C-alpha cells in the first residue's frame, strides 16, 4: 500500500469513505448532518447554516459519501436526478435549457449560467465552479472553484451590485491561506493561496452519525503536474481592491486578518532568494498556463500580476509602524520591476534591429547585450509578425534567452497595471490591431502567439497531447480574455476594438455552449478537449459587456501610472544603467 493510501485509510474507514476530502481540519463554518444508519441516508439537522439544497448524502449505489458541491446550482441528489434525465435521450432539464438557447439574449443566458455555476458553503455563495458542462465524463478538477477563474465572475457580480459572493470568496479563501498542506513531506511557503478549493462533506470527528462541510483547498499538491499557483494570491489582492472600490465597503480590507493576509502574500513574494532580478522567479505552469509550456523563469504574466498586486496592496495597507519595512521593500521592488520590464522585455522594430546587430560575449559592467542574447535567436516568424507600428513585451527573459512569443494576458495586464509605459501600452494595442488576423481572427483571443510546433513542441511541452500546435495553451483562443482586453482598451481610451471582439464572440459563443477555448490558427473549431459551459468564458464575456456599457467602472481594476514611481523610473533611465555600473540605490517613494 502506498504511503498516501495508508494515510487516507487512517481518515476514512468504511462505510464513510470518500475520495477527495481526507483533510479533517476544523477551520471555517460548519453545517452538521446526521447519518441514519438503517436507511443509509443522511438526514439533515439544520444548524447555524441553513441551506437545505446543498446537502451531501450517501449514495445508495456505491456507499460512498458524495460531496455537497452544488453543480448547476443544485444539490447532489438533485444532480443525480438531473444526470438520469440527461442520460435519457428523450430530454432532461439541462437538455431543455440547451433547447431554449437562442430564445434569450446571449447576455441573459450568460447571467443564468453564471448564477447556476455558484457554489455554496454553509448556505452562502462562496465562488463559481470552473466548468458546468453536462456531458463531462472526466471531471478532473473542473468541479472546483479556481481562484483565477473566479476573478471575472467576481468582477461581474461586483459590477451588478451583488457584493456578498465576492466578500465571502475573499474571506473564505483567506482562511485557506494558512491551511496546513504538504506535498511529499514539504509544505508550501506561508502566504500561498490555493489554486482551487472545493466544498466537501466529511464525517464529523468523534461522531459517526454526523457530517460537516469543509472547504478543501488544492495548493497544487493534487493538480496535474503538481503546479504551484503563484498567481492566486496576486489575483486575490487585485479582487480585494476591486471589491472595496466598487462596493465602497472598506471594512473588509481594513480587517486585521485581511491585512495580515495581504502582508503574508507580500512577504512570500518579496522574500530574498538567490535571484539578482526583481522579477518573480517561478516554475513552469504557475499561472493561467498551468502546464509545461516553457514559461518557467520570469514569465510576463506573473510579473504583470505581481506589479498590479504590489500597487493594489500599497493602496490598502494600513499605515502602521510594523509595516514600514515591508512598504519600503515594496516600493523598491516596484521601481526595479517596472524598470526591468520596460527596458528589457520591450521589443519593436527598432529593438529587434538592435538585437540583430548585437555583439556577444561582452564581459563588463556596461555591456549593451547584458543577457548575452545571440542574434540568431530572432525567430523567422518574428520578422513577419512585428508590424512597423507597434510592439510588445516578450514572454520571458533569461541568460542567453529571450522568449519572443506574444503572451496576451501578460501584455494586456501590463497595460491595465501601468507596468508598461503609456507609449508602450498604445504600441501593444497598435500591434493587436495590426495583427488581428493572427491574434483574434474568428474568436478572441489567442493565449499566446505563435504555437510551438515540431521538435520545439516535443522538447518544450514534453510532447503534450493537450498542447498540440494551435490548441489549448499552445496558441489556442480563449474567450475569457475578452474582459482583460476590454479593460486594457478602455484604460487607453480605445474601446472600439473591444466592442468588435465582443461582437465577434457573440456570433457563436452561446451556440457553441461557452467553450473553454478554441483550436486552429484562426480559432475556428471548439477546442478538442475544451470544457463546455466554462464559467470564466461566460463571466469574461459578461464583464466585457458590462464595462463597455459603463467604461468608468473599469477603474476598479486599473492601476494608474504613479507619478512618484515615474520620477524614480526617469532617474534610473537618466543615470543610464545601460552604460555605467549601477551604484547601490534605494528609492524612497
Ligand atoms: C485549465 C487552465 C487554468 C484554469 C483551469 C480551470 O487548467 O489552464 O488556467 O484555471 O483550467 O478552468
Cell of 229: 499557483
Best residue for ligand 1 mutational test, from 130, 305, 467 (most atoms within 8 Å of Cβ) = 130
- Give a yes or no: residue 196 inside a domain: yes
CA 196 to ligand 1 centroid distance, Å: 10
Cell of 315: 493602496
Cβ-Cβ contacts under 8 Å for 32 (sequence gap 6 or more): 45, 47, 204, 210, 211, 212
CB 42 within 8 A of CB 34: yes
**Number of domains into which the chain is organized:** 1
β-partners of residue 65 are: 58
Percentage of residues in the chain with pLDDT exceeding 70? Answer: 79
Ligand 1 proximity of 148 Cβ (cutoff 6 Å): yes
* Sole residue written with cell 496535474: 224
Cβ-Cβ contacts under 8 Å for 450 (sequence gap 6 or more): 381, 385, 405, 438, 475
β-partners of residue 196 are: 146, 218
Percentage of residues in the chain with pLDDT exceeding 90? Answer: 67
C-alpha Rg value of the chain to the nearest Å: 24
Take atom 1 of ligand 1 and give the residue whose Cα is closest: 290
- Give a yes or no: residue 485 inside a domain: yes
Q: What angle do CA 434, 436, 442 make, to 5 degrees?
A: 165
* Sole residue written with cell 489582492: 237
Residue 536 Cα: closest atom of ligand 1 = 12
What's the mean pLDDT in 208-232?
88
- Give a yes or no: residue 5 inside a domain: no
Q: Is 416 left (phi over 0), alpha (psi -120 to 50) or beta?
A: alpha
Query: Residue 43 in 3-state DSSP?
Result: strand
Q: What angle do CA 415, 416, 421 make, to 5 degrees?
A: 35
CA dihedral 142, 220, 145, 286 (to 10 degrees): -90
Best residue for ligand 1 mutational test, from 117, 146, 218, 301 (most atoms within 8 Å of Cβ) = 146
CB 273 within 8 A of CB 282: no
- Give a yes or no: residue 211 inside a domain: yes
Model confidence pLDDT, tens digit, residues 509-518: 999 999 999 9
- Give a yes or no: residue 201 inside a domain: yes
Query: Residue 39 in 3-state DSSP?
Result: coil
pLDDT at 257: 95
- CA 480 to CA 146: how far, in whole Å? 14
- CA 468 to CA 461: how far, in whole Å? 9
Residue 294's Cβ-count burial label (10 Å; 0-12, 13-18, 19+) is buried
CB 305 within 8 A of CB 236: no
CB 502 within 8 A of CB 476: no
DSSP 480: G
Maximum CA extent, the chain: 81
Query: Residue 33 in 3-state DSSP?
Result: strand
Residue 269's Cβ-count burial label (10 Å; 0-12, 13-18, 19+) is buried
- Give a yes or no: residue 101 inside a domain: no
What's the mean pLDDT in 429-433?
98
Average pLDDT of every residue of the chain:
83
Ligand 1 proximity of 116 Cβ (cutoff 6 Å): no
Ligand 1 proximity of 290 Cβ (cutoff 6 Å): yes
**Which helix or strand (DSSP H or E) is residue 115 part of?**
helix 106-116
pLDDT at 181: 72
- Give a yes or no: residue 484 inside a domain: yes
- Give a yes or no: residue 26 inside a domain: no
pTM comes to 0.84
DSSP 534: B
Q: Is 224 left (phi over 0), alpha (psi -120 to 50) or beta?
A: beta
Model confidence pLDDT, tens digit, residues 272-325: 888 889 999 999 999 999 999 999 999 999 999 999 999 999 999 998 878 899
Ligand 1 proximity of 149 Cβ (cutoff 6 Å): yes
Q: Is the pLDDT of residue 472 over 80?
A: yes
Model confidence pLDDT, tens digit, residues 27-53: 333 333 333 333 322 222 222 343 323
DSSP string, 160-186: TT--HHHHHHHHHHHHHHT----BTTB
Take atom 3 of ligand 1 and give the residue whose Cα is closest: 288
The residue ranking higher by pLDDT, 253 or 579, is: 253
Domain hosting residue 481, numbered range: 106-573
- CA 29 to CA 40: how far, in whole Å? 25
Ligand 1 proximity of 348 Cβ (cutoff 6 Å): no
The residue ranking higher by pLDDT, 325 or 573, is: 325
Q: Is the pLDDT of residue 581 over 60?
A: no
Ligand 1 proximity of 531 Cβ (cutoff 6 Å): no
Ligand 1 proximity of 143 Cβ (cutoff 6 Å): no
CA dihedral 146, 151, 154, 159 (to 10 degrees): -160
- For CA atoms 261, 266, 272, 274, give the dihedral sign: positive
Ligand 1 proximity of 231 Cβ (cutoff 6 Å): no
CATH of the domain at 257: 1.50.10.10
Amino acid at each position: 500500500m502506498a504511503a498516501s493510501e495508508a494515510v487516507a485509510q487512517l481518515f476514512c474507514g468504511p462505510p464513510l469513505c470518500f475520495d477527495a476530502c481526507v483533510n479533517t481540519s476544523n477551520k471555517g463554518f460548519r453545517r452538521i448532518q446526521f447519518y441514519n444508519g438503517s436507511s443509509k441516508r443522511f438526514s439533515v439537522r439544520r444548524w447555524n447554516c441553513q441551506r437545505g439544497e446543498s446537502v451531501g448524502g450517501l449514495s445508495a449505489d456505491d456507499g460512498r459519501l458524495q460531496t455537497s458541491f452544488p453543480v448547476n446550482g443544485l444539490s447532489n441528489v438533485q444532480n443525480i436526478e438531473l444526470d438520469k434525465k440527461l442520460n435519457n435521450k428523450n430530454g432532461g432539464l439541462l437538455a431543455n435549457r440547451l433547447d431554449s438557447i437562442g430564445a434569450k439574449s446571449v447576455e441573459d443566458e450568460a447571467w443564468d449560467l453564471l448564477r447556476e455555476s455558484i457554489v455554496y458553503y454553509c448556505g452562502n455563495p462562496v465562488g463559481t465552479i470552473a466548468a458546468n458542462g453536462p456531458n463531462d465524463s472526466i471531471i478532473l478538477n473542473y468541479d472546483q472553484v479556481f481562484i483565477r477563474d473566479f476573478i471575472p465572475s467576481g468582477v461581474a457580480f461586483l459590477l451588478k451590485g451583488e457584493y456578498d459572493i465576492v466578500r465571502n470568496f475573499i474571506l473564505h479563501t483567506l482562511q485557506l491561506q494558512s491551511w496546513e498542506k504538504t506535498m511529499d513531506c514539504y509544505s508550501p511557503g506561508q502566504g500561498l493561496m490555493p489554486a482551487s478549493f472545493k466544498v466537501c462533506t466529511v464525517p464529523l470527528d468523534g461522531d459517526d452519525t454526523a457530517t460537516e462541510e469543509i472547504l478543501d483547498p488544492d495548493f497544487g499538491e493534487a493538480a496535474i503536474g503538481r503546479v504551484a499557483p503563484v498567481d492566486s494570491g496576486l489575483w486575490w489582492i487585485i479582487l480585494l481592491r476591486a471589491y472595496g472600490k466598487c462596493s465602497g465597503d472598506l471594512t473588509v480590507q481594513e480587517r486585521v486578518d485581511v491585512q495580515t493576509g495581504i502582508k503574508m502574500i507580500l512577504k512570500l513574494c518579496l522574500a530574498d532568494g538567490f535571484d539578482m532580478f526583481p522579477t518573480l522567479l517561478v516554475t513552469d505552469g504557475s499561472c493561467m498556463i498551468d502546464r509545461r509550456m516553457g514559461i518557467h523563469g520570469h514569465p510576463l504574466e506573473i510579473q504583470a500580476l505581481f506589479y498590479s498586486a504590489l500597487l493594489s496592496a500599497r493602496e490598502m495597507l494600513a499605515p502602521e509602524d510594523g509595516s514600514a519595512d515591508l512598504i519600503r521593500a515594496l516600493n523598491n521592488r516596484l521601481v526595479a520591476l517596472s524598470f526591468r520590464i520596460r527596458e528589457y522585455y520591450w521589443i519593436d522594430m527598432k529593438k529587434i534591429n538592435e538585437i540583430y546587430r548585437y555583439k556577444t560575449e561582452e564581459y563588463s559592467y556596461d555591456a549593451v547585450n547584458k543577457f548575452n542574447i545571440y542574434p540568431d535567436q530572432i525567430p523567422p516568424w518574428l520578422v513577419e509578425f512585428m508590424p512597423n507600428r507597434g510592439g510588445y513585451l516578450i514572454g520571458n527573459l533569461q541568460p542567453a534567452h529571450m522568449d519572443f512569443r506574444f503572451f496576451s494576458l501578460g501584455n494586456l495586464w501590463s497595460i491595465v497595471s501601468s507596468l508598461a509605459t503609456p507609449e508602450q501600452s498604445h504600441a501593444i494595442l497598435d500591434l493587436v490591431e495590426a495583427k488581428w488576423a493572427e491574434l483574434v481572427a474568428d474568436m478572441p483571443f489567442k493565449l499566446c502567439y505563435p504555437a510551438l510546433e515540431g521538435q520545439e513542441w516535443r522538447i518544450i511541452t514534453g510532447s503534450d497531447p493537450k498542447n498540440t500546435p494551435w490548441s489549448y495553451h499552445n496558441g489556442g483562443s480563449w474567450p475569457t480574455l475578452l474582459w482583460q482586453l476590454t479593460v486594457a482598451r478602455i484604460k487607453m481610451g480605445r474601446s472600439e476594438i473591444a466592442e468588435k471582439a465582443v461582437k465577434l464572440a457573440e456570433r457563436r459563443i452561446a451556440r457553441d455552449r461557452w467553450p473553454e477555448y478554441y483550436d486552429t490558427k484562426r480559432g475556428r473549431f471548439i477546442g478538442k478537449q475544451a470544457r463546455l459551459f466554462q464559467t470564466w468564458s461566460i463571466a469574461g464575456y459578461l464583464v466585457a459587456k458590462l464595462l463597455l456599457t459603463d467604461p468608468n467602472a473599469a477603474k476598479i481594476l486599473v492601476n494608474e501610472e504613479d507619478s512618484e514611481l515615474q520620477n524614480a523610473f526617469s532617474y534610473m533611465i537618466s543615470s543610464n544603467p545601460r552604460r555605467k555600473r549601477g551604484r547601490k540605490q534605494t528609492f524612497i517613494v
